[in-house]
């Protein structure tokens, strides 16, 4: 898929950076599809059996980093598989080369590449590309958010009982009882439906586009949410931290529903 480059009203200094992000995402998506649903996909585990990495993760990340090294040699990088480079630089790329690796390794199509560019640790642009679904979400700070070149806006739902929301469970769920199960048990009786897509970046994008009415998850990493949070915020979503003791723990919904979701999630058992 050739990605749509609809970049209205972007400052001239941001246009080449957004085009670079789209180019990197496009190539990462090509690598994903080269391996998706192929026999004998090379894969391994990291922290435990729930934490999977494949050859597609590694090759996609290498491709993105090579592009950055060639075109933006002074920029820092935070990448899921290879860690940090020049992380205190003014400009810093935050990369998840394949979010939803468990889905990918199982042959399920909910996976994507997530690329954010931060300036002084604040995200100023983000691109998330789900190549099998041919969905490319992107945003620039203060300029809006788009899906395949069309502007997106979050859901206007006003009643939690009619909402469809998404969540996920952390990789340490078997070892840490603070694993979101209690929150899921409370929320499932308050909403129309609860979904588990298995890719935080896509959860945030789908909330941005109004396909989901809200999303929360505990213990994520910076690369899971850097691009998605910006895309969601630029589409009118309120994104906030709901826990300070579980790394990046986020709640995202429209301005009307978020207080109701927060109340359910933070109830005492």
Instruction: Kindly state whether residue 8 falls inside one of the protein's structural domains.
Output: no
Mean per-residue pLDDT over the chain, rounded: 91
For residues 87 and 178, membership in a common domain is answered with: no
Tell me, what's the pLDDT at 179? 86
Does the structure show a pLDDT above 50 at 114?
A: yes
Domain boundary among 151, 168, 198: 151
Over residues 29-33, the mean pLDDT reads 97
Instruction: Of 77, 94, 255, 233, give the one whose Cα is nearest residue 152.
Output: 233
Instruction: Kindly state whether residue 7 falls inside one of the protein's structural domains.
Output: no
Distance (Å, whole) CA 60 – CA 228: 19
Which tokens is 228 given?
A: 């998605």
DSSP 111: -
Instruction: Kindly state whether residue 5 falls inside one of the protein's structural domains.
Output: no
Instruction: Kindly state whether residue 1 falls inside one of the protein's structural domains.
Output: no
What is the domain count for the chain? 2
Domain at 123, CATH number: 3.30.540.10
For residues 114 and 177, membership in a common domain is answered with: no
Does the structure show a pLDDT above 90 at 65?
A: yes
For residues 147 and 24, membership in a common domain is answered with: yes
Contact 99, 113 (CB under 8 A): yes
Domain boundary among 151, 175, 207: 151
For residues 22 and 53, membership in a common domain is answered with: yes
For residues 195 and 95, membership in a common domain is answered with: no
Domain at 238, CATH number: 3.40.190.80
Tell me, what's the pLDDT at 49? 46
Domain housing 21: 15-151
For residues 131 and 36, membership in a common domain is answered with: yes
Instruction: Kindly state whether residue 71 falls inside one of the protein's structural domains.
Output: yes
pLDDT in tens, 150-170: 999 999 999 999 999 999 988
Does the structure show a pLDDT above 60 at 253?
A: yes
**Cα 147 from chain centroid (whole Å):** 14
Instruction: Kindly state whether residue 95 falls inside one of the protein's structural domains.
Output: yes
For residues 38 and 21, membership in a common domain is answered with: yes
For residues 89 and 180, membership in a common domain is answered with: no
pLDDT in tens, 171-216: 766 676 678 999 999 999 999 999 999 999 999 999 999 999 999 9
Tell me, what's the pLDDT at 143? 94
Which one has a higher pLDDT value, 266 or 52? 266
Contact 78, 92 (CB under 8 A): yes
Domain boundary among 117, 151, 185: 151
């Amino acid at each position: 898929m050739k990605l749509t480059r609809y970049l209205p009203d972007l400052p001239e200094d941001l246009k080449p950076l957004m085009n670079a992000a789209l180019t990197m995402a496009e190539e990462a998506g090509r690598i994903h599809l080269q391996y998706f649903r192929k026999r004998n996909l090379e894969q391994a585990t990291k922290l435990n059996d729930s934490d999977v990495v494949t050859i597609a993760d590694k090759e996609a990340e290498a491709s993105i980093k090579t592009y950055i090294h060639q075109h933006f040699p002074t920029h820092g990088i935070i990448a899921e598989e290879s860690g940090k480079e020049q992380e205190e630089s003014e400009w810093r790329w935050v990369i998840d080369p394949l979010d939803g690796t468990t889905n990918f390794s199982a042959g399920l199509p909910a996976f994507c590449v997530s690329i954010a560019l931060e300036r002084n640790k604040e995200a100023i642009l983000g691109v998330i590309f789900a190549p099998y679904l041919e969905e490319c979400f992107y945003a620039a700070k203060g300029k809006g958010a788009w899906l395949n070149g069309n502007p997106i806006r979050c859901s206007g739902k006003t009643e939690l009982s009619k909402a469809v929301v998404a969540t996920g469970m952390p990789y340490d769920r078997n070892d840490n009882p603070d694993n979101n199960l209690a929150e899921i048990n409370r929320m499932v009786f308050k909403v129309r439906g609860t979904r588990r897509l298995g890719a935080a970046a896509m959860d945030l994008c789908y909330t941005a586009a109004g396909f989901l009415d809200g999303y929360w998850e505990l213990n994520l990493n910076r690369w899971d949410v850097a691009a998605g949070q910006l895309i969601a915020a630029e589409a009118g979503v309120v994104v906030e931290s709901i826990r300070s003791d579980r790394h990046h723990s986020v709640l995202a919904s429209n301005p009307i529903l978020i207080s109701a979701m927060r109340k359910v999630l933070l109830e005492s058992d």
